[in-house]
Structures are given as structure tokens and as C-alpha cells.
Amino acid sequence: MPFTPFHMGPGIVVKALLQGSFSLMVFGWAQIVMDIQPLLVLISGDGHLHGFSHTYIGATLLAIFSALSGKYLSEVGLYVFGLNKHWHVKIRWRVSFLSAFIGTFSHVLLDSVMHSDIEPFFPFTTDNYFLGLISVNALHNVCLSSALVGGLLYFSITWFQKYKKSKHTMQ
């Protein structure tokens, strides 16, 4: 992906489907962590642009880091944004790890489709079986469309749950 926000579209769909069992903030943090290594290469001009961080082994290590740090960063972020005013919302460790792993693994998959320098299964093979699976334009459209669909799904499911709950309490 040309920059991290494209990765958020599929994450929004996962959030819509898993609701409280998935943290979009930890997922987003994992996207940022994944792109630190390429950013450093772009700044310094030295190194392999999509190096070890964009392998599934690298993604596993970065998922663990993202889950451990992202849980607390997300809880603070929710508080700062006013979504956790009394610190009642705690992200469960299971949710943090699931969100981070989905984030880093999907990042490798999506970037593997469009970047020829990615070796997702290194050190077992340097082949990238995902390269060109779909066009870059189609990949961008899928990511952007999934953000829209995920948002609509999320708000529809949330509205339906509130409607169902209010109807149940009226009886």
C-alpha cells in the first residue's frame, strides 16, 4: 500500500463483524508499526524497503509488540478522545493479540499483492505468490470499498442491537 490508511478498510469490516472482540485501534497501531521499517529505509535511503518486517515471521514479532504496547496505548487513546471517560473500557489481552495479528498478517498479504520486493515466506522461500493476484487499482478499490461497507455494516449492526435491546426492555 502506498500508505497505511488503505489498510484500515479491511480492518473496519473485521470490526463490524467482530464488534467488541476486535480493537480497531490496536489494528491501526499494528499498521503503523509495520511501516516503521520501510519509513526508515525511505528516510535513510539504505536497506531493503519491505524487508524482514514484511515477512510473516517479522509480522509475528511485530504483532506481539503491537499487542503488548497497543493495548495500553489504545486505552489511553480512548480516554483522550473522550470515548472512555471513566477508564471503564479495558481492552482484553485476547482482543489485543487477535487485532494485532490480523493487522500485521493482513498488512503483509495486502502489500504482497502490489510490491515486488516483498518476500512474505522468507526464509523458507523468496517467492511472492501473491504478487499481481489482482491489479493495484483493484486492490485500492477493495480497500476503499471495504471501509465504506465496513462502516455501513458497523453502524447497521450497532443500530439493530440498540433497537432490539430497547424493544426488549419495553416489553
Q: Is 130 helix (H, G, I), strand (E, B) or coil?
A: coil
Whether 59 and 11 have beta carbons less than 8 Å apart is answered as: no
pLDDT in tens, 99-143: 999 999 999 999 999 999 999 999 999 999 999 999 999 999 999
**Dist CA 112 CA 109 (whole Å):** 5
Phi and psi at 45, nearest 5°, equal: 75, 10
Which class for 154: exposed (0-12), middle (13-18), buried (19 or more C-beta within 10 A)?
Answer: middle
How many structural domains is the chain composed of? 1
pLDDT, tens digit, 9 for 90 and up, residues 29-70: 999 999 999 999 999 999 999 999 999 999 999 999 999 999
pLDDT at 86 over 70: no
d(CA 74, CA 79): 8
- The pLDDT, as a whole number, for residue 3 is 60
Region of residue 118 (phi > 0: left; psi between -120 and 50: alpha; otherwise: beta): beta
The range of the structural domain enclosing residue 138 comes to 5-170
pLDDT at 23 over 50: yes
